[in-house]
């Protein structure tokens, strides 16, 4: 237990200081480490001085069960290393500039999946540094002992794809040299990547595209291996989630019309809802005479579209149903077999007010009715999840206003007509962390202080916060938190209550 005294002391000071005001944390860290000899930190990075936003130790250049890296973890790892600076041996670009660079590079190369790499050496206190006499602790300050080395040298290595949700079957991958960050002086001799497609490690070069094909979807593990001229070999791994689609779409009608935009003619709070409509007629006649209007659900990131609905390996295409005694059909196969003409409605904003998207759907229904051929069947409308609320609101609004929807059958698939229950504890955690800020100590100058917001370190936190803040989410959530940071509380006038009063009419 004595060997853990120093690490325990360091851990407790970080936890206690971070629970105080931002400036107190900065002052506390400067007090504890202000007397150490920076020259002994030959890598320029000291783990205990920094703030670990993820498990830095896990990304040590070996493959394990818990060290898969993604863009968010890579950013957290880089930020953690950046806060460890205690001298000038390692110069690192400001994390905000790095993140902006990565985003700009990916935006400039939309047809290629870019990978970013980091390889840093850092130091940490030996587990027995205190009991072995390498350091002394006096009045909560650490002092070096002359002639003693209290540090071990460790490795941080990670290669992360900037995109992990893929759709298709063939992709280009590239590691740009200007997205490789390191403080090692080792010379790189070989890069190998196993893309998880059964081909094993393939040798690649920096700045060149590697074309990779897959024959199935699901989770893929890609493993990256860097080999240096001195014989050092380090590994990293990441997960890809592949929504596989074969070169030919499964909906075989062959009469897909170019998608078009439909805008509501009725405004909600002064703004018109907008959607994209894709029509594919069954059979070979290219005639719209048996419409099935499918309304998508709560599209949190606006990523679900027509192809997600029709392709084999996705949430809707994999639904097995029984129709007329025939089992094993997917939803879309059954649709086509019964001769339905598919009209898919994709919101421009999948988190917008339900009323706004419902008014847009009314415009789509009106378009369908005016474009059906003579003698056509009445419409069938399928609303998936939140789409069921949008469709029901639209149909009822048309009835109230004496508008003809010409619909014979409305299907609500897994729709929260009474609202959804998201635990207040989970909402409050997101809102609290979104508003937390603190000052990072930088052991180069007492005046070089960086104010850090937790939300800047966790893009997914921002995504979730924006999600719970979105109009559609607030219209569906029964219990709602409000505010952020220390002002987090309970929303006493949730939007859901007013929406439900209107929805029940």
Structural element, H or E, at residue 43? none
Residue range 109-149, pLDDT digits in tens: 999 999 999 999 999 999 999 999 999 999 889 999 999 99
| Six token digits for residue 408 | 């014979």
**What does the alpha-carbon distance between residue 23 and residue 2 come to, in Å, rounded to a whole number?**
32
Residues near 352 by beta carbon (within 8 Å), at least 6 away in sequence: 273, 470, 471, 472
437 has which bridge partners?
A: 453
Taking the C-alpha atoms of residue 474 and residue 478, their distance in angstroms, rounded to an integer, is 8
Q: What angle do CA 233, 236, 237 make, to 5 degrees?
A: 145
Distance CA 185, CA 256 (A): 56
347 dihedral zone (left: phi>0; alpha: psi -120 to 50; beta): beta
pLDDT of residue 458: 73
For residues 278 and 262, the answer to whether their CB atoms sit within 8 Å is no
Other CB atoms within 10 A of residue 381 CB: 29
Smallest CA-to-CA distance from 342 within 313, 314, 364 is with 364
Identify the bridge partners of residue 234 per DSSP, sorted by sequence position. 226
CA angle 251, 254, 255 (to 5 degrees): 110
- Residue 159 C-alpha from the chain's centroid: 17
CA distance 463 to 166: 19
Q: List 203's β-bridge partners, or say none.
A: 192
Provide the token pair at 42: 């030959």
Given a contact cutoff of 8 angstroms between Cβ atoms, the answer to whether 22 and 451 are in contact is yes
Among candidate residues 86, 91, 57, the one with its CA nearest the CA of residue 150 = 86
CA dist 159 and 69 (Å) reads 7
**Within its chain, how far is the Cα of 285 from the centroid?**
42
Tokens 């790095």 locate to: 98
- The CA–CA distances, whole Å, from 503 to 35, 203, 358, 397, 477 equal 66, 59, 12, 10, 14
| pLDDT score at 10 | 46
pLDDT at position 53: 84
Low-confidence ranges of the chain (pLDDT < 70): 1-26, 245-254, 311-332, 438-451
DSSP string, 104-157: HHHHH-TTEEEEEEEEEEEEEE-TTTTTTTSEEEETTEEEEPTT---EEEEEEE
Q: How far, in Å, are 59, 172, 191, 467 from residue 74 at the CA level?
A: 10, 21, 19, 23
**152 near 126, Cβ under 8 Å?**
yes
Q: How far is it, in rounded angstroms, from Cα 86 to Cα 394? A: 61
pLDDT recorded at residue 305: 85
| pLDDT for 1 | 42
Residue 308 has a pLDDT of: 77
pLDDT of residue 447: 40
How buried is 80 (Cβ within 10 angstroms: 0-12 exposed, 13-18 middle, 19+ buried)?
buried
| CA angle (75, 81, 87) in 5-degree steps | 145
Rounded to a whole number, what is the distance in angstroms from the first to the last CA of the chain?
A: 68
Distance CA 463, CA 174 (A): 26
CA distance 53 to 411: 46
Q: What is the CA radius of gyration of the chain?
A: 28
- Please give the model's pTM, rounded to 2 decimal places: 0.71
Of the candidates 503, 500, 465, 496, which has an alpha carbon nearest to the alpha carbon of residue 483?
465
CB 175 within 8 Å of CB 96: no
pLDDT value at position 13? 44
Domains of the chain with bracketed CATH: 2-244 (2.60.40.10), 255-413 (3.40.50.1820), 424-503 (no CATH)
Q: What is the pLDDT of residue 9?
A: 47
Parallel, antiparallel or unpaired: strands 188-194 and 201-204? antiparallel
pLDDT at 347: 97
């Amino acid at each position: 237990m004595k060997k853990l005294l120093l690490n325990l002391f360091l851990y407790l000071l970080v936890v206690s200081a971070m629970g105080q005001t931002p400036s107190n944390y900065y002052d506390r860290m400067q007090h504890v480490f202000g007397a150490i000899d920076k020259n002994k930190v030959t890598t320029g990075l000291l783990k205990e001085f920094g703030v670990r936003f993820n498990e830095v130790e896990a990304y040590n250049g070996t493959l394990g069960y818990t060290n898969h890296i993604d863009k968010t973890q890579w950013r957290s790892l880089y930020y953690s290393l950046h806060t460890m600076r205690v001298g000038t041996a390692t110069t690192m670009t400001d994390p905000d500039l790095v993140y902006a660079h990565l985003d700009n590079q990916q935006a400039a190369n939309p047809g290629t999946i870019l990978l970013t790499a980091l390889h840093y050496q850092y130091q940490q206190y030996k587990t027995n540094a205190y009991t072995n006499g390498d350091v002394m602790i006096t009045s909560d300050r650490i002092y070096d002992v002359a002639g003693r080395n209290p540090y071990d040298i460790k490795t941080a290595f990670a290669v992360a794809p900037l995109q992990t949700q893929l759709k298709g079957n063939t992709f280009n991958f590239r590691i740009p040299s200007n997205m490789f960050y390191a403080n090692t002086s080792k010379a790189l001799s070989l890069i190998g990547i196993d893309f998880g497609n059964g081909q094993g490690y393939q040798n690649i070069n920096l700045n060149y595209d590697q074309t990779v094909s897959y024959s199935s979807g699901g989770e893929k593990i890609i493993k990256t291996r860097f080999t240096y001229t001195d014989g050092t070999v380090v590994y990293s791994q990441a997960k890809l989630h592949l929504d596989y689609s074969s070169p030919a779409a499964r909906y075989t009608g062959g009469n897909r019309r170019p998608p078009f935009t439909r805008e509501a003619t009725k405004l909600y709070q002064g703004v018109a809802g907008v959607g994209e409509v894709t029509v594919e007629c069954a059979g070979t006649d290219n005639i719209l005479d048996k419409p099935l209007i499918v309304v998508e659900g709560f599209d949190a990131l606006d990523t679900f579209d027509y192809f997600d609905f029709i392709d084999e390996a996705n949430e809707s295409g994999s639904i097995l149903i029984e129709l007329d005694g025939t089992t094993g059909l997917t939803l879309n196969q059954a649709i086509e077999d019964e001769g339905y003409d598919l009209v898919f409605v994709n919101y421009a904003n999948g988190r917008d007010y339900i009323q706004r998207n419902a008014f847009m759907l009314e415009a789509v229904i009106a378009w369908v009715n005016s474009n059906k051929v003579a003698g056509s069947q009445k419409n069938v409308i399928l609303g998936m999840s939140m789409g069921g609320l949008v469709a029901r609101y639209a149909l009822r609004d048309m009835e109230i206003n004496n508008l003809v929807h010409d619909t014979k059958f409305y299907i609500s698939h897994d729709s929260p007509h009474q609202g959804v229950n998201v635990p207040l504890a989970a909402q409050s955690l997101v809102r609290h962390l979104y508003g937390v800020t603190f000052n990072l100590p930088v052991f180069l100058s007492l005046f070089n202080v960086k104010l850090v917001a937790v939300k800047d370190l966790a893009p997914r936190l921002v995504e979730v916060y924006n999600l719970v803040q979105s109009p559609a989410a607030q219209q569906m959530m029964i219990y709602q938190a409000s505010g952020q940071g220390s002002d987090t509380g309970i929303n006493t006038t949730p939007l859901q209550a007013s929406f439900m009063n209107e929805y029940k009419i």
